[in-house]
A and B are shown apart, each in its own frame.
Chain A
Amino acid sequence: MDFRLTEEQELIRSNMREFAETYVDPIAAEIDESARYPAEVIEKLAEGGWMGMPFPVEYGGQGTDYLTYAIAIEELSRSCAATGFTMSVHTSLSLMPIFLFGNEEQKKKYLPPLAQGKHIGAFALTEPGAGTDVGAATTTAVLEGDEYVLNGTKTFCSNGPVADTYVTFAWTDKSAGRKGLSAFIVSKGTPGLKVGSHFMKMGIRASQTSEIIFKDCRIPKANLLGKEGDGMKIAMNCFDHGRIGIAGQSVGITQAALDESINYSKQRIQFGKPISKNQAIQWWIADMATDINAARFLTYHAAWLKDQGQPFTKEASMAKVFCAEMAMKHTVKAVQIHGGYGYCKGFKVERLMRDAKITEIYEGTSEAQRMVIAGTVLR
Chain B
Amino acid sequence: MNGYIVGQQVINGLVLGAIYGLIAVGYTMVYGIMGMINFAHGDIYMISAYLAAIFLALLTGAGVQSVPVALVLVLALTILFTAFYGWTVERVAYRPLRNSNRLAPLISAIGVSLILQNYVRISQGARNQGIPALIEGHVRVNAADGVTIGQVTYTQILIVSAALLSMGALAWIMRHTTLGRSCRATQQDRVMAELLGINTDHIIATVFIMGAAMAAVAGLLVTLNYGSFDFFIGFVVGIKAFTAAVLGGIGSLPGAMLGGVILGLCESLFSGFVNTDYKDVFAFAVLILVLVVRPSGLLGHPEVEKV
Do A and B form a real pair? no
